[in-house]
Structure 1
Amino acid sequence: MKDIKVGIVGLGRLGSVHAQNLAFKIPGCKLVAACSLEQKELDWAKDYLKVEYTTTDYMKMVDEADIEAVVIVSSSPEHCWMIEYALDAGKHVFTDKPLGCSLEECKRAEAAVERHPDKLFFLGFMRRYDPSYADAKAQIDAGHIGKPYLVKATGLDPEALVESCIKFSKTSGGIFIDAASHDIDLMRWFLGGEVTEVYAAGTNFKHPEFAENGDTETGMAMLKFDNGTVAFLHVGRTAPHGYHTETEIVGTEAHIRVAGVPWKDRVMVYDQYGARQEIVENFPQRFAEAYLLEMVDFIDCIQKDRKPELTVYDGTKATLVTYAITDSFHTGKPVTVKY
């Protein structure tokens, strides 16, 4: 089976993870092109990854590079037009979340996918590939917890990165849009329903700069689903101990908790503070295996001409829910989700 030739756009924190996986760790593919606005990132791709073709022009890469697939890890507002351009050029497409930043953008991506049913579109909700979350889903599907009716999700960025979060909050659209889409995708996946209504609130006790930017350092939301199930969301940016992701699925017969304590490894440190374990520092570290497994599946889907479980419509629905939660946060009122 021949190697799939891939080009990537975006070589930042997450893009560099995907690029290294494609270049070194995934059988059946060859990373041959890279696009970035930063020349130092292109130099890194050429020198370290041995990429043959580099450019600062995305359309030029799609049109000129000898590639069959494009991996999009650019800034969120660029996703949908890049998806459209690559599909219209006859390329298979992987894109990181979110699908788009508005309903109009998402519909543009949907139309592009629908125009090209012979091309693969792959959405990067990588937590479905995390072994712990995948095992939780398998246990739910097997009926081991009875009927799942409640999901409680927590996602906290570390206090150590709060200054970059404050800067980003000026343009991000808010904490729910920025940080909640993975949790919403998991809620839909685990509960088997669609969100119908949301109510959100937020608090600022450490960093008033978030409020000055129209955002919040900590956000909470309750979500109602069309099958009678419910979910609670807690996102924040000031965890003192490190990056913290935790999900609990409550069923009629049992509960499942994923990553209740986000241990970095199995090492126990004994010092003047007692016996303790270190915590993961960031999301690329916590989900390193998931990022690799999702890209393995992307290449495998192309080679075997099969469709992934996730669709472009999953991306639209997650985007709509994050915007509804953001509207509720700003208005202080429940918001009906309209698809």
Structure 2
Amino acid sequence: MKKVKVGIVGLGRLGRQHAENLAFRIPNCELLAVCSVIPSEIENAQKNLGIKYAYTNFDEMLENKELDAIFIASPSGFHCEQIEKALSAGFHVFSEKPLGLYIEEALRVRQVVNQHKDQVFMIGFMRRYDRSYAYAKKKIEEGKIGDPYLIRCYGFDPAKAINGFMEFAKSNYSGGLFLDMAIHDLDLARWFLNAEAKQVWAIGGAYAHPEIMELKDAETGAALVKFENNKIGLFVAGRNCVHGYHIETEIIGTKGTLRIGTVPEKNMVTIFDEAGAIKECIDGFLERFEQAYLSEAEEFINCIRESRQPVVTVDDGVLSTALGYACKESFETGELITIQSPYNNIFSNQN
């Protein structure tokens, strides 16, 4: 098969990383087009990536008949509409998380995806493609820790990134702490526990940056989730981690425990100086998950070439969105939220 020709929309921090991977690091892939509403991002991509076509209008990019696939890395609020348009135009589609900011639009996307079964659709839960997380999943499937019944997830963005976050949050496209950040951990919990959420209670606040509360969001939030078979999920997410980017996951089973990322080490180097013995920490998500972002994009291209669907499905996007939205609703209302099937689109408050 010829090279898969891709157009990408969204050239922010993550979009640029995806664009570089598609342009230079994935065999049998050609990044042919880019799309952004910011002219400087387009100019930069054409200059540094050698892109043939550049657009400021997404609909115009979809008219390019040379393209095989569309890679969506735009702000979260645009995902659903762009997924629907790209699928309807006949393209294979990769979309960054979350699938949507609201259950109704996520369900609508699911319907469109199921109407185009001959086209590859993939949602960007890249941690499933991280070697450490994939290894942990393999150990669980081998029965190394017995039946997993509790998962604890920490996800903290570096404090130095707070200004960039504030600009993003003010755009109304982030979806809030649980849909924007914790969604990865919520997806991992479903994956590792092999269970869906039934109830959630979420709390949070703004401690170093009280202005975040004005956006009806939390600087740091926590959620306690009851999964099927009484399995337990403990989730903490925050945006004010002074030592760097800290992602930590623990899965406890009936016969043992797995931990991933307990210390967010930058590398294997220890610095010995007047301050003592120092292990530097990872600065951000692009550094920590560099390999995972590449691997998930490789899988998307391979699925197209091999005419198969990825293991991560649109239902993973719907169900993780439903859980993330339930966390958001619980945080905003202070209520315990019972989650029924999102396909019935029913949440209820439990006083």
Letter in 2 for 1:156: F
2:306 aligned residue: 304
Taking the aligned partners of 2:31 and 2:209, their CA distance within structure 1 comes to 42
Q: Which moved more, 1:265-274 or 1:250-259?
A: 265-274
Taking the aligned partners of 2:200 and 2:47, their CA distance within structure 1 comes to 48
Note the alpha carbon deviations across 1:95-119, whole angstroms, 9 max, x for none: 0000011112112211211111100
Whether the aligned pair in 2 keeps the contact of 1:169 and 1:175 (CA below 8 Å) is no
Taking the aligned partners of 2:65 and 2:157, their CA distance within structure 1 comes to 37
1:6 aligned residue: 6
Q: CA RMSD in A?
A: 1.1
Note the alpha carbon deviations across 1:45-65, whole angstroms, 9 max, x for none: 211111101110111111125
**Matched ranges for 1:1-339 at <5 A:** 1-170=1-170, 171=172, 172-338=174-340, 339=342
Note the alpha carbon deviations across 1:1-35, whole angstroms, 9 max, x for none: 32111111111100000000000000011111110
Match of 1:64, SS state, is: coil
Letter in 1 for 2:192: F
Whether the aligned pair in 2 keeps the contact of 1:136 and 1:256 (CA below 8 Å) is yes
Taking the aligned partners of 1:253 and 1:223, their CA distance within structure 2 comes to 22
Taking the aligned partners of 2:39 and 2:329, their CA distance within structure 1 comes to 38
Match of 1:262, SS state, is: coil
Q: Which moved more, 1:121-130 or 1:63-72?
A: 63-72
Taking the aligned partners of 1:332 and 1:187, their CA distance within structure 2 comes to 23
Q: CA deviation at 1:213?
A: 2.3
Taking the aligned partners of 1:123 and 1:228, their CA distance within structure 2 comes to 28
Moved over 3 A (4+): 166-170
Letter in 1 for 2:108: R
Letter in 2 for 1:328: S
Letter in 2 for 1:226: E
Match of 2:224, SS state, is: strand
TM norm structure 2: 0.94
Taking the aligned partners of 1:212 and 1:7, their CA distance within structure 2 comes to 37
Letter in 1 for 2:100: G
Q: CA deviation at 1:227?
A: 2.3
Q: Which moved more, 1:122-131 or 1:42-51?
A: 42-51
Taking the aligned partners of 1:6 and 1:330, their CA distance within structure 2 comes to 39
Q: CA deviation at 1:202?
A: 1.0
Taking the aligned partners of 2:39 and 2:217, their CA distance within structure 1 comes to 33
Q: CA deviation at 1:204?
A: 2.8
Taking the aligned partners of 2:316 and 2:26, their CA distance within structure 1 comes to 26
Q: Which runs of 5+ in 1 are unaligned?
A: none
- Identical counterparts, % of pairs: 47
Taking the aligned partners of 2:305 and 2:164, their CA distance within structure 1 comes to 39
Note the alpha carbon deviations across 1:185-238, whole angstroms, 9 max, x for none: 000000000001000111332221122222221101100111221110000111
